[in-house]
């Protein structure tokens, strides 16, 4: 038993790695790779997995659940409100229009109205996974096409919840059939009369919202205080699994619960941390989901009815494309943006699998209808990249505008972002000074107490480990202009510096360092903007001492500037030298030796004086010399 | 007795022989407020309300500075720009400085002979000081001719001490009822008979 489980895991992972690599090499979406590997290892081709495919599908649905949780996290109520017109407008037209046309299509084909309705619901949904991935890969998120797609997909993700809530109402309540398959699941919902089902759904939604506020966030804060990172990962999973369990217990989609949980937590300081923790798992589980889907494509169904399936596939894609084009037309998108929108969202999405199997479980759909729709869905997803390539290579160039024309978003300020890492005494001074000049920075900090406090003070602060690429990315480093590292941990500065050099070389990186030696190290790593925290303060103190000894304040303040310049120059000169020191272990001795060197140099140079302006003594001396000659 | 405000401005006071002697002579006199601007605002961040308060409290304003590149040091120009605000020092109904007495006390490296139409500098010191004169006029102040210590590079210690004494006498005169009429169209305040040392 254990052996076969391990064997299956090996098959899945190997299949994924091979097929996704090939798909990527061919410039196709990774989704295609996953689907393809599912098909290959599935019962109809290589037959490595048989009926277990369904169990795996069930497990892999966690990928979809997590994706919805993460989408929920994205939707801060504030952002949602700002985008409400495009989300509801474009999304509403797209979903409504597609449902209407496909409902007519399927009733014309002679299906029962309930079946036609469920299928048209499934058809109306596009693939968030495919579309968002392509948009992000091509860097089109900020175009009108990008925002339009995002709005429509978001609307779909929300509407799917209502669909999932609505489908049970269509169920044939003969009683006898419905308990047959689900007799051993603990579904509360199925034991309830219809009216109470809706009530139970409402109650569980309210329960999630309340628990999110008063249970989950306080719990996360307690966990964060322990500073054990694994615990936070565990907590993230606990949230997702807990909500899923509750939803499954009630008998509605766990995805619905996860989405709501995400929305509830989107305003908390743990948003980015949760996002970056779950992101890799989500992708892998989604991959597994796609593989399971691929494995469950029934090729016998295709072989039995190739014409019907091919015809339906084309008809559905045409309907979706037409509605999308009209939507773009109504919202006055330029032709190129409209075509991109039309072709990238014309497929049926992964939620169709969820909807269809849900409806099938409730015996609304017959097995053959479901098999057919599953095949069409998988095929429509598979040909999306091909359609996109045709659009980009053959259609767009003809209409004269290229997809690479990027329109700036309405709010340009956001693209001039500043990320501030570390909000201790040093960082907070920077943050406050910036803020008092109307410059807001996205703040990352690792102290959950401080994060909590600062959020109460109205700062945009996020909890998390800033050395992680994914956290920096979710904090928006791709669009950032400057990253300030105000922590005194050199390991953090080095890690962030490396990320910026490797991935985001356009971002300016400004670093606080504790001392000269940290500064050497950072300079040698190719960081330009290094700020020693002790330099200015110690010189201010020294300046005040000299002022008390009778030196003039103006002269001293100029001398401080001179000294800083001289010291920065020497820092840069000596940084390469310091690296050559072999006995780095005897740091104290080296330090002393170097200090001695500096002091001797200073003594030789005397007072750091660069300018002779206003110096009548100097002028008098020079005049005397001239006269003597 | 009139109250006198001396706004002294020298970026390298500690290296200035002439100004040291001049300042030592007058800074502790009764009724004189001596302000060293470069000591007070080393970072050029002038406390405008405080400066306005000081101006209000005094009757005679002296801009004491070396003459360098035919003008005053940058901090003094900064002081003029920042402190003499529109609506307070000048402009409609602005009369904070009305009828106060104002003058420049300057030291120049170059001699009197250099500062004339035939000299290397082409113009007289008074001509170079026109902006200050008009600034005072715009603020409704009565502007007196300058007190100038010229050719400082070649002046002996004794000569400088003499100037310092004149400066001290001038302060005493200004504390009395000395007005523009008493100047009798002199070029320099140094030339008025009252300052002649016996």
Please report which confidence band the pLDDT of residue A132 belongs to, taking 50, 70 and 90 as the band edges.
confident
pLDDT of residue A494: 92
pLDDT of residue A1: 41
Contact A613 B11 (CB under 8 A): yes
Instruction: Let me know: does A273 contact A70? Beta carbons within 8 Å.
Output: no
pLDDT digits (tens, 9 = 90+) for B132-175: 999 999 999 999 999 999 999 999 999 999 999 999 999 999 99
pLDDT of residue B58: 97
Distance from CA of B12 to the nearest CA of A (A): 6
Contact B153 A616 (CB under 8 A): yes
Q: Tell which wins on pLDDT, A2 or A314.
A: A314
Contact A557 B153 (CB under 8 A): no
**Beta-carbon neighbour count of residue B156 at 10 Å?**
8
Distance from CA of A551 to the nearest CA of B (A): 9
Q: What percent of chain B has pLDDT over 70?
A: 99
* Strands ordered across the beta sheet of A417-421: A461-463, A441-445, A417-421, A480-485, A508-513, A529-532
pLDDT of residue A284: 80
Please report which confidence band the pLDDT of residue A290 belongs to, taking 50, 70 and 90 as the band edges.
confident
Span of A228-237, A491-500, A599-608, B54-63 with lowest mean pLDDT: A599-608
pLDDT of residue A504: 92
Q: Within a 13 Å sphere around the CA of A113, how many CA atoms are in the beta-carbon half?
A: 2
**Greatest mean pLDDT range, A549-558, A588-597, B161-170:** B161-170
Over 50: is that where the pLDDT of A364 sits? yes
**Greatest mean pLDDT range, A234-243, A249-258, A299-308, B139-148:** B139-148
Q: What percent of chain A has pLDDT over 70?
A: 84
For chain B positions 80-99, those within 8 Å of chain A (CB to CB) are none
* A616 at interface of B, judged by CB pairs closer than 8 A: yes
If we measure between CA atoms, which residue out of B189, B196, B195 comes closest to residue B64? B189
* A613 at interface of B, judged by CB pairs closer than 8 A: yes
Cα separation, A486 vs B78, in Å, equals 35
DSSP string of A83-109?
A: THHHHHHHHHHHHHHHHHHHHHHHHHT
Instruction: Let me know: does B190 contact B147? Beta carbons within 8 Å.
Output: yes
Cα separation, A98 vs A81, in Å, equals 25
Over 50: is that where the pLDDT of A401 sits? no
pLDDT of residue A165: 73
pTM for the structure as a whole = 0.56
Span of A145-149, A227-231, A234-238, A401-405 with lowest mean pLDDT: A401-405
DSSP string of A331-394?
A: TT--HHHHHHHHHHS-S--THHHHHHHHHHHTTSS-HHHHHHHHHHHHHHHHHHHHHHHHIIII
Cα separation, B144 vs B174, in Å, equals 11
**Beta-carbon neighbour count of residue B193 at 10 Å?**
7
Span of A507-516, A524-533, A543-552, A565-574 with lowest mean pLDDT: A565-574
Q: A529-532 and A508-513: which strand pairing?
A: parallel
Residue of A nearest to B67 (CA): A614
- Helix or strand (DSSP H, E) at A483: strand A480-485
Q: Which residues contact A240 (CB under 8 A, 6 or more apart)?
A: A62, A65, A66, A69, A258, A261, A278
Please report which confidence band the pLDDT of residue B87 belongs to, taking 50, 70 and 90 as the band edges.
very high
Cα separation, A22 vs A30, in Å, equals 9
Question: Could you give the residue ranges of the DSSP H alpha helices within A109-228?
Answer: 113-124, 128-137, 144-170, 178-182, 188-191, 194-211, 217-225
Please report which confidence band the pLDDT of residue A262 belongs to, taking 50, 70 and 90 as the band edges.
confident
pLDDT of residue A207: 85
Over 90: is that where the pLDDT of B130 sits? yes
- Does the ipTM exceed 0.90? no
pLDDT of residue A581: 52
pLDDT of residue A598: 74
Q: Which residues contact A425 (CB under 8 A, 6 or more apart)?
A: none
User: If you average pLDDT over residues A589-611, what whole number do you get?
Assistant: 68
Closest partner residue to A614 (CB to CB) among B11, B39, B43 is: B11
């Amino acid at each position: 038993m254990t052996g076969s489980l391990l064997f299956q895991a090996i098959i899945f992972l190997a299949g994924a790695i091979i097929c996704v690599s090939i798909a990527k090499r061919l410039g196709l979406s990774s989704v295609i790779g996953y689907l393809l590997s599912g098909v290959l290892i599935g019962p109809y081709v290589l037959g490595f997995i048989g009926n277990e495919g369904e169990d795996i599908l069930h497990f892999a649905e966690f990928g979809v659940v997590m994706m919805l949780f993460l989408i929920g996290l994205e939707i801060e109520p504030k952002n949602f409100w700002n985008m409400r017109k495009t989300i509801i407008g474009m999304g509403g037209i797209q979903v409504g229009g597609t449902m209407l046309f496909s409902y007519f299509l399927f009733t014309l084909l002679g299906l029962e109205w309930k079946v036609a309705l469920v299928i048209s619901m499934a058809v109306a949904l596009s693939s968030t996974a495919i579309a968002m991935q392509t948009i992000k890969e091509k860097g089109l998120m900020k175009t009108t096409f990008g925002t339009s797609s995002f709005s429509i997909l978001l609307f779909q993700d929300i509407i799917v919840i209502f669909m999932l809530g609505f489908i049970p109402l269509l169920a044939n309540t003969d009683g006898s059939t419905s308990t047959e398959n689900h007799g051993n699941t603990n579904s509360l919902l199925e034991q309830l009369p219809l009216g109470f089902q809706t009530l139970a759904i409402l109650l569980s939604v309210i329960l999630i919202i309340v628990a999110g506020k008063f249970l989950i966030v306080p719990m996360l804060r307690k966990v964060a205080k322990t500073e054990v990172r694994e615990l936070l990962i565990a907590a993230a999973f606990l949230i997702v699994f807990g909500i899923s369990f509750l939803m499954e217990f009630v008998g509605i989609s766990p995805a619905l619960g996860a989405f709501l949980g995400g929305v509830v937590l989107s305003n908390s300081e743990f948003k980015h941390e949760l996002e970056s923790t779950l992101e890799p798992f989500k992708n892998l589980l989604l991959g597994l989901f796609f593989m399971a889907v691929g494995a469950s494509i029934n090729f016998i169904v295709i072989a039995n009815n190739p014409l019907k399936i091919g015809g339906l596939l084309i008809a559905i894609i045409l309907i979706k494309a037409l509605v999308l084009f009209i939507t773009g037309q109504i919202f006055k998108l330029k032709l190129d943006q409209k075509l991109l929108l039309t072709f990238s969202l014309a497929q049926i999405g992964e939620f169709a699998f969820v909807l269809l199997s849900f409806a099938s479980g409730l015996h609304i759909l017959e097995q053959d209808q479901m098999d057919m729709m599953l095949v069409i869905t998988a095929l429509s997803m598979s040909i999306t990249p091909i359609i996109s390539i045709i659009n980009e290579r053959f259609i767009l160039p003809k209409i004269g505008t290229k997809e690479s024309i990027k329109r700036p978003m309405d709010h340009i300020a956001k693209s001039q972002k500043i990320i501030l890492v570390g909000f201790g005494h040093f960082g907070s001074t920077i943050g406050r000074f910036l803020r008092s000049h109307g410059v807001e920075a996205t703040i990352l900090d690792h102290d959950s107490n401080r994060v909590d406090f600062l959020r109460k003070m109205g700062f945009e602060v996020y909890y998390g480990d800033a050395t992680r690429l994914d956290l920096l990315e979710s904090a928006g480093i791709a669009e950032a202009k400057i990253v300030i590292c105000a922590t005194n941990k050199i390991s953090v500065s080095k890690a962030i510096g490396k990320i910026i050099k490797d991935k985001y070389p356009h971002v300016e990186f400004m670093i606080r360092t504790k001392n000269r030696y940290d500064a050497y190290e950072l300079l040698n790593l190719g960081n330009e903007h290094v700020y020693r925290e002790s330099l200015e303060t110690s010189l201010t103190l020294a300046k005040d001492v000299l002022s008390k000894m009778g030196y003039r304040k103006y002269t001293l303040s100029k001398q401080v500037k001179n000294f800083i310049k001289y010291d920065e120059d020497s820092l840069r000169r000596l940084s390469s030298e310091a690296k050559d020191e072999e006995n780095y272990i005897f740091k104290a001795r080296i330090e002393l030796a170097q200090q001695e060197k500096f002091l001797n140099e200073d003594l030789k140079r005397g007072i750091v004086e660069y300018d002779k302006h206003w110096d009548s003594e100097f002028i008098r001396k020079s005049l005397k010399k001239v006269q003597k000659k | 007795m009139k109250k006198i405000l001396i706004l002294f401005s020298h970026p390298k006071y500690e290296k200035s022989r002439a100004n040291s002697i001049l300042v030592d002579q007058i800074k502790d006199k009764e009724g004189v407020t001596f302000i060293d601007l470069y000591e007070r605002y080393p970072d050029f961040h002038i406390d405008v309300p405080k400066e306005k308060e000081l101006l209000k409290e005094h009757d005679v304003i002296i801009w004491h500075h070396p003459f360098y590149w035919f003008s005053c040091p940058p901090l003094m120009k900064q002081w003029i720009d920042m402190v003499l605000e529109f609506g307070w020092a000048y402009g409609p109904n602005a009369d904070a400085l009305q009828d106060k007495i104002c003058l420049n006390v300057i030291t120049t490296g170059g001699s009197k002979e250099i500062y004339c139409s035939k000299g290397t500098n082409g113009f007289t010191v008074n001509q170079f000081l026109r902006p200050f004169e008009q600034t005072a006029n715009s603020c409704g102040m009565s502007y007196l001719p300058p007190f100038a210590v010229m050719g400082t590079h070649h002046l002996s210690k004794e000569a400088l001490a003499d100037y310092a004494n004149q400066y001290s006498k001038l302060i005493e005169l200004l504390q009395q009822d000395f007005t523009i009429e008493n100047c009798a169209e002199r070029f320099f305040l140094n030339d008025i008979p009252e300052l002649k040392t016996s």
